[in-house]
Amino acid sequence: MTDTAAEAGDAAARDARARAVRATGAGVASPAAPVIRTRGLTKRYRGGRPAVDGLDLTVPAGSVFGFLGPNGSGKTTTIRMLMGLIDPTSGTAEVLGRPMPEAARTVLPEVGALIEGPALYGFLNGRDNLLRYDRADPTADPRTRRARVDEALARVGLAAASGKKAKQYSLGMKQRLGLAAALLRPRRLLVLDEPTNGLDPQGMREIRLLVRELAAEGTTVFLSSHLLDEIEQVCTHAAVMARGRLIVQGPVADLAASARGRLAVTTPDPGDAARILKEHGLTGLSTDGDRLTADAPPAAVDLADLNAALVGGGVRVRFFGVERGSLEDAFVALTGEGFDVAG
């Protein structure tokens, strides 16, 4: 069972990679250069195991790019390198077509970032926090500062709470203020590390709407998340990391499609049904009461024939069909079932 799952995973990964290559091929034809491009990007903290290992990431302009991976897979480390906060051990990173961290001074004013959650001055109120961050930007216009701060506060729904000391903010309010700091100016790239962390359902919805709105304005959004629903709902592209390595990247639709669906049969005779399906070469069978599932057969096999074989074999079929693979299936197939964080 685990073997077949792993095989299916490998197949899915290969599939998705093939598609991703095709997608990049198409990207070359379009005039827009990638917003983020890394080549062999590697980071070892204090000489340990690489936290990020030979990363070749390409984020197309105008995409909403989901950056996925289990805990400790190197997402935040990658983002820190892209933002020039840490130096790569080897490899190169380009953001907005310029090398990081060398070009930080010209690149970063055009990038809004939320890295590993918000960080605020607890003794300042929300508005003063934003004013301080805006003053730290040498290219921000002081004349429009207050207006821009107010606009950012309104955009994240904090206008009414902007006079409150940040230490009195709830987790979600802090997260919103962190987002507001990333939105102080029109940006070409937004880097959001788990932006919906701590938000209520309305907050998450608003963030999704906000991301779509920004994307429509032409901002490229690079967001890391564990919430696959979220990625599936807002992202056009995604990449999956595991243990510091990039497993796959490409358009989300392709990734989800690459997770092979499952054939599901509901019947009072699951034993016979399993036997017949096995005879027809189906793999990954599992039975749960009167419900039987198997890896979806290759396209060459006509489902109608399978159903006829079942009925012909005396199996009473209540339900018969293929369930589409979700991004979650693809994710688990790619990164493994294990819950433990890699050391």
Partner 1 sequence: MSQAEKSPAERAIDPGPQGSRSPLWTLGLLRSEISTLLRRHRTYALLAVLAAVPVLIGIAVRIETGGGGGGEGGAEGGAGPAFLAQVTNNGFFLVFAALAATLPVFLPMAVGVVAGDAIAGEASSGTLRYLLVAPAGRTRLLLVKYASVLAFCLIATLVVAVSALAVGALLFPVGDVTTISGTRIGFGEGLVRAGLTALVVAVSLAGFAAIGLFVSTLTGSGIGAMAATVGLLITVQILDSIPQLSGVHPYLFAHYWMSFADVLREPVYWDDLSKNFQLQGLYVAVFGSAAWARFTAKDITA
Site residues (vs ligand ATP, CB under 6 A)? 45, 51, 69, 71-77
Which of ligand ATP, Mg ion, partner 1, none sits in contact with 74, Cβ below 5 to 8 A by type?
Answer: ligand ATP
CA distances from 200 to 240, 253, 328 (A): 26, 27, 22
Q: Given the complex with Mg ion, which of 15 and 194 has the nearer CB atom?
A: 194
Q: Given the complex with partner 1, which of 63 and 293 has the nearer CB atom?
A: 63
d(CA 62, CA 188): 9
**Which of 71, 90, 139, 202 lies at the binding interface for partner 1 (CB under 8 A)?**
139
Task: Output the residue with the shortest Cβ distance to Mg ion.
Answer: 76
Return the residues of window 198-217 that contact partner 1 according to CB under 8 A.
215-217
User: Which among 310, 114, 119, 135 has a CA at the least distance from the CA of 225?
Assistant: 114
Q: Given the complex with partner 1, which of 123 and 319 has the nearer CB atom?
A: 123
**Which of 36, 115, 192, 257 lies at the binding interface for partner 1 (CB under 8 A)?**
115
State which amino acid sits at residue 280: H
Give me the least distance between CB of 88 and partner 1, in Å please: 10
78 binds Mg ion (CB under 5 A): no
133 binds partner 1 (CB under 8 A): yes
77 binds Mg ion (CB under 5 A): no
**Among all chains, which residue has been given the structure tokens 């012909």?**
312
Q: Given the complex with ligand ATP, which of 51 and 273 has the nearer CB atom?
A: 51
Q: Given the complex with partner 1, which of 60 and 297 has the nearer CB atom?
A: 60
d(CA 7, CA 29): 34
Which of Mg ion, partner 1, ligand ATP, none sits in contact with 51, Cβ below 5 to 8 A by type?
Answer: ligand ATP
Which of Mg ion, partner 1, ligand ATP, none sits in contact with 195, Cβ below 5 to 8 A by type?
Answer: none
Start-to-end C-alpha separation, the chain? 26
**Which of 8, 52, 57, 113 lies at the binding interface for partner 1 (CB under 8 A)?**
113
Give me the least distance between CB of 135 and ligand ATP, in Å please: 28
**Which of 28, 29, 136, 160 lies at the binding interface for partner 1 (CB under 8 A)?**
136
Q: Given the complex with ligand ATP, which of 42 and 258 has the nearer CB atom?
A: 42
Give me the least distance between CB of 135 and partner 1, in Å please: 4
How many of the other CB atoms lie within 10 Å of CB of 343? 7
Instruction: Please tell me the number of Cα atoms within 13 Å of 16 on its side-chain side.
Output: 30
Which of partner 1, Mg ion, ligand ATP, none sits in contact with 61, Cβ below 5 to 8 A by type?
Answer: partner 1
Q: Please give the residue ranges that form the binding site for partner 1 (CB under 8 A).
A: 30, 32, 45, 60-63, 80, 83-87, 104-106, 108-111, 113, 115-124, 131-142, 181, 186-188, 215-220
The site for Mg ion (CB under 5 A) is made up of 76
